Chains A and B, each alone.
Chain A
Amino acid sequence: QKEVEQDPGPLSVPEGAIVSLNCTYSNSAFQYFMWYRQYSRKGPELLMYTYSSGNKEDGRFTAQVDKSSKYISLFIRDSQPSDSATYLCAMSFNDYKLSFGAGTTVTVRA
């Protein structure tokens, strides 16, 4: 079993839809949770970072962490074609070494 499991894609949604992305993890010692966006042929770009259980909002993006269920989510509201990318969840212990999910490729159709 992988440490971090990410819902497989790909996802294709119409412009303006809500995109929901999810990851589960097996090790309850993970402390830091991130979401990265990766455009084709680019490095991952940090979107959201959370430490504790609960919600964190940044513009159209909301990150959720449920440590009791070992489950994290990213929601993208009012999705735009420019949101088309691969989204990677990542998490770390207090050593800051990241364990990544496999990634979900999202296409937002205009």
Chain B
Amino acid sequence: SAVISQKPSRDICQRGTSLTIQCQVDSQVTMMFWYRQQPGQSLTLIATANQGSEATYESGFVIDKFPISRPNLTFSTLTVSNMSPEDSSIYLCSVAGGSGGVETQYFGPGTRLLVL
């Protein structure tokens, strides 16, 4: 399976600021996704990070709030913009389409975000 790292692992931010989360994979993958896990809840898909083109967002998530970049097949960033306390969550990137095949999806360790 792919080895996925995320930076930062955690952060405490003030409302109104923005935070960029990085996701790095140790091998090329076809697909990269960003999920959110709010406290005590399951994972919700934010968007699909498309290499070389704009991300595809799920219902309820917009590019102005969660801009995403994917410059190559091993790296993506998610920015949480103009943060409010409601953005306090764990943000996880996932990858598919590496050596394990496109159907198997692996997750990074997550970034724990607390907005004050």
* A residues neighboring B (CB under 8 Å): 32, 34, 36, 41-46, 49, 51, 88, 90, 92, 96-103
Inter-chain contacts of A34 with B (CB < 8 A): 104-105
Inter-chain contacts of A42 with B (CB < 8 A): 109-110
| Binary contact readout B82-116 vs A (1 if CB under 8 angstroms, 0 otherwise) | 00000000001010110000111111111010000
What are 6 residue pairs bridging A and B, where the CB atoms are less than 8 Å apart in the complex? A36-B107, A43-B110, A46-B104, A97-B58, A99-B45, A101-B42
Partner of B33, one of A41, A44, A97: A97
| Cα(A102)–Cα(B104), bound, Å | 20
Inter-chain contacts of A100 with B (CB < 8 A): 42-44
List 9 tightest A-B contacts by C-beta distance, closest first: A43-B107, A100-B42, A43-B109, A100-B43, A44-B107, A43-B110, A102-B42, A32-B103, A103-B42
Q: 8 Å CB contacts to A: which residues of B65-96?
A: 92, 94, 96
**A96 and B107 within 8 A (CB):** no
Inter-chain contacts of A92 with B (CB < 8 A): 105
| Binary contact readout B30-59 vs A (1 if CB under 8 angstroms, 0 otherwise) | 010101000001111100100000000010
Q: How far is the CB of A6 from chain B (nearest CB, A)?
A: 8
- Is chain B's binding surface mostly helix, strand, loop or mixed? strand
Inter-chain contacts of B105 with A (CB < 8 A): 34, 46, 92, 96, 98
> Known contacts A96-B31, A96-B96: does B43 contact A88 (CB below 8 Å)?
yes
* B residues neighboring A (CB under 8 Å): 1, 4, 31, 33, 35, 41-45, 48, 58, 92, 94, 96-97, 102-110, 112
| Cα(A45)–Cα(B96), bound, Å | 13
**A46 and B43 within 8 A (CB):** no
| Cα(A96)–Cα(B100), bound, Å | 13
| Cα(A34)–Cα(B108), bound, Å | 16
> Known contacts A32-B103, A96-B31, A96-B102: does B108 contact A43 (CB below 8 Å)?
yes
Residue of B nearest to A36 (CB): B107
Most-contacted residue by chain A among B96, B97, B105, B108 (CB, 10 A): B105
